[in-house]
């Protein structure tokens, strides 16, 4: 007689359920890595000290700190969280303000550029007649805006001359390449760099890798343009006041 094949279902693997203490264990290891003691972790998580020891015993033992040092570290951690929250709020405020601007009209850009030049560009004086259009700044955003304004005024790019002004302790070549790339010209077209001598008595803050000096932009044959800029500025002031 033929043997009946066994068609009973194959045994299913036992499902593993997450341990209820997995979250506690992960949190305990996180706190231990931050320098917490067994007693502190036990008090924080409400679990036994033996469990804490089992969960974190493979982690390095934190350095012993005096109560004052512990207080300072705890205070610093709270302050870091506060700073992080403030930074989020700061970025949200900036983003909201940025969205309020929208697209500048040519008329708006005209006035913004005139005010920008009057704040940062060279100006004619009764005791020193110089109707030149010379602009100096270290902010890439300001430089981009100024060049957009010159394009609005149909200033031929061939009339622009660029020069770097930077402290002698920095990297002039790297800075020149940076500015040349920003404005879209060959670094070789830059005029001779103006090097500022280092004064050991002056405590400078602009010494990091992002320090690239100032870019000087001159518009050749700019007397007529300068007179128009001054006229626009006077009109802005008169209208506002």
Q: pLDDT by residue (tens digit) across 57-72?
A: 888 887 766 778 777 8
| Structural domain range at position 162 | 106-240
Average pLDDT over residues 212-236: 95
Sign of CA dihedral 28, 33, 34, 38: positive
Does residue 110 share a domain with residue 86?
Answer: no
Residues 152 and 213 in one domain: yes
Half-sphere exposure of 85 (CA within 13 A, CB side): 6
Q: What is the mean pLDDT of residues 95-99?
A: 93
Per the confidence metrics, is the pTM higher than 0.75? no
Q: Can you tell me the mean pLDDT for 154-159? A: 96
Residues 6+ away with beta carbon under 8 Å from 183? 143, 147, 162, 215, 217
> Which tens digit of pLDDT belongs to each residue from 47-56?
888 899 899 8
Radius of gyration of the chain (CA): 33
Residues in Cβ contact with 233 at an 8 Å cutoff, skipping those fewer than 6 apart = 114, 115, 118
Same-domain status, 27 and 54: yes
Residues 115 and 233 placed together within one structural domain of the fold: yes
Specify whether 197 is located in the same domain as 142: yes
Q: Residue 160 in 3-state DSSP?
A: strand
Looking at residue 15, what is its pLDDT? 46
Find out whether 48 and 42 touch, Cβ atoms under 8 Å.
Answer: yes
More confident residue, 60 or 137: 137
- What is the DSSP-derived secondary structure letter of residue 59? S
| Nearest-angstrom CA–CA distance, 47 and 193 | 68
What's the domain count of the chain? 2
Q: Please report the pLDDT score of residue 76 as a whole number.
A: 81
The angle subtended at Cα 46 by Cα 44 and Cα 47, nearest 5°, is 120
């Amino acid at each position: 007689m033929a043997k009946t094949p066994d068609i009973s279902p194959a045994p299913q693997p036992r499902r593993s359920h997450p341990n209820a203490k997995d979250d506690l264990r992960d949190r305990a290891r996180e706190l231990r890595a931050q320098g917490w003691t067994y007693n502190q972790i036990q008090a924080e998580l409400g679990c036994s000290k033996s469990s804490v020891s089992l969960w974190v015993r493979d982690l390095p033992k934190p350095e012993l700190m005096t109560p004052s040092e512990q207080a300072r570290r705890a205070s610093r951690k709270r302050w870091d969280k506060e700073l992080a929250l403030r930074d989020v709020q700061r970025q949200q405020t900036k983003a909201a303000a940025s969205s309020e601007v929208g697209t500048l009209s040519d008329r708006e850009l005209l006035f913004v550029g005139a005010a920008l030049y009057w704040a940062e560009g060279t100006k004619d004086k009764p005791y020193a007649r110089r109707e030149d259009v010379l602009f100096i700044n270290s902010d890439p955003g300001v430089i981009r805006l100024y060049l957009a304004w010159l394009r609005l005024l149909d200033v031929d790019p061939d009339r622009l001359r660029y020069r770097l002004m930077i402290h002698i302790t920095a990297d002039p070549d790297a800075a020149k390449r940076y500015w040349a790339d920003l404005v879209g010209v060959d670094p070789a077209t830059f005029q001779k760099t103006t090097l500022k001598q280092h004064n050991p008595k002056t405590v400078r803050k602009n010494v990091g890798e992002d320090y690239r000096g100032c870019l000087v932009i001159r518009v050749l044959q700019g007397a007529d343009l300068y007179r128009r800029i001054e006229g626009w500025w006077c009109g802005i002031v008169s209208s506002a006041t």
